[in-house]
Amino acid sequence: MVWQIILKLTTPIIVAMHSNIAEALKLRTEPVAILWTNEKPEGALGFKGRGAGCALVLLAQAASRGRTAAFDRENFGCMGAGTGLGFGRQQDNFPLGGVEAFRYFLSTGLEGQGRDDLLEKARGLGSSEMRENFQKGEGYKKTPDLVGDFLRELPVIEVPTKYVVFKPLRDLDEQDEPIVVVFVANSDQISALVGLANYDRPGIENVVIPMGAGCHQICIAAYREAEKEKPRAVLGLTDPSARKNVRPLLGSDVFTFAIPYKRFLEMEACAGESFLSRSTWKSLAQP
């Protein structure tokens, strides 16, 4: 399990961490550590209850404004975030019909599908966008059956702690044990991160881009990688819904790059000797 691997790490936790990678990339935002903890950080941002709120907005707050955010099993925003953060399979609790309703929501919608019972309930929803998504579908999968396949592939993880926390890397405390480190980066910076993730490894697939919500990509997909002997980085924020939500804070030109902590430390150690110190990258990194 992920937490067993993390606890076996012999590398000491770095406090008030300075990131060689972030410096070389000239990031305009702070890398964000994702933590599992039983203690809620004082003053942490968060959602009240379930059903509304995008976890990626709070990641954006951590990256761009230095805020810490905390989530638990009763307060995590939308159902997708509940799953994405590692609080089990929250699609079972999806509005109007659990997994069955979710299958239509992500694909074709309910209109013309012989599910007038669910469609009638959807018409009573307060949000016009939510009503449209139930009626016509988000269109992220062609059929409800393909949504079922997506759910079978999606990692289902129950984190072993009360809270999942997003915390700026620079604010780590001595007791903090990151699970994942997330960079928010533009296209040039992503190209560098992909290169660095392959710099010290054989093969050409040391970065993956799994389909999923933005929170799936930075959390459960990266948690799954952390379970592996050779964890890979996860490129994310390919979800249009999440991109729409974070655009006011992060702009339109960024993606996420989530790195299991063990792999992050390896990449940090390689940054100074890699292409990041050469003229080609330095010319791209100029503002």
pLDDT at position 97, please?
85
d(CA 67, CA 43): 9
Residue 242 has pLDDT above 80, yes or no: yes
- What does R_g of the chain's alpha carbons equal in angstroms? 19
Provide the pLDDT for residue 34.
Answer: 98
224: nearest Cα among 162, 166, 157: 157
To the nearest whole number, what is the mean pLDDT of the chain?
91
More confident of the two residues 114 and 258: 258
pLDDT band at 273 (very low <50, low <70, confident <90, very high): very high
Q: What is the pLDDT of residue 16?
A: 52
At residue 264, the pLDDT reads 98
pLDDT band at 12 (very low <50, low <70, confident <90, very high): very low
- Report which DSSP code applies to 277: G
- pLDDT of residue 5 exceeding 50, the answer is no
Of the pLDDT bands very low, low, confident and very high (cuts 50, 70, 90), residue 116 is: confident
Instruction: Report the distance separating Cα 106 and Cα 241, nearest Å.
Output: 11
Higher-pLDDT residue of 115 and 192 is 192
Mean pLDDT (whole number) for 46-58 = 92
By DSSP bridging, strand 178-186 and strand 32-37 are antiparallel
Q: Identify residue 115 by its one-letter amino acid code.
A: R
pLDDT in tens, 57-84: 999 999 999 999 999 999 999 989 999 9
Q: How far apart are CA 85 and CA 71, in angstroms?
A: 8
Q: What are phi and psi of 71, to 5 degrees?
A: -130, 145
Rounded distance between C-alpha atoms, residue 164 and residue 18, angstroms: 22
At residue 3, does pLDDT exceed 50?
Answer: no
Q: What is the mean pLDDT of residues 36-52?
A: 93
The whole-number pLDDT of residue 245 equals 96
pLDDT digits (tens, 9 = 90+) for 87-110: 999 999 988 889 999 999 999 999
- Residues of the chain with pLDDT > 90, as a percent, come to 80
**Residue whose token pair is 């405390």:** 173
Is residue 9 scored above 60 in pLDDT? Answer: no
What's the whole-number mean pLDDT along residues 200-214?
A: 97
Q: List, in sequence order, the alpha helices (H) in 126-203.
A: 128-136, 144-153, 187-199
Q: Is 156 left (phi over 0), alpha (psi -120 to 50) or beta?
A: beta
Q: Look at residue 129 in the predicted model and tell me its pLDDT.
A: 84
The answer to whether 66 touches 171, Cβ cutoff 8 Å, is yes
The reported pLDDT for the residue numbered 123 is: 80
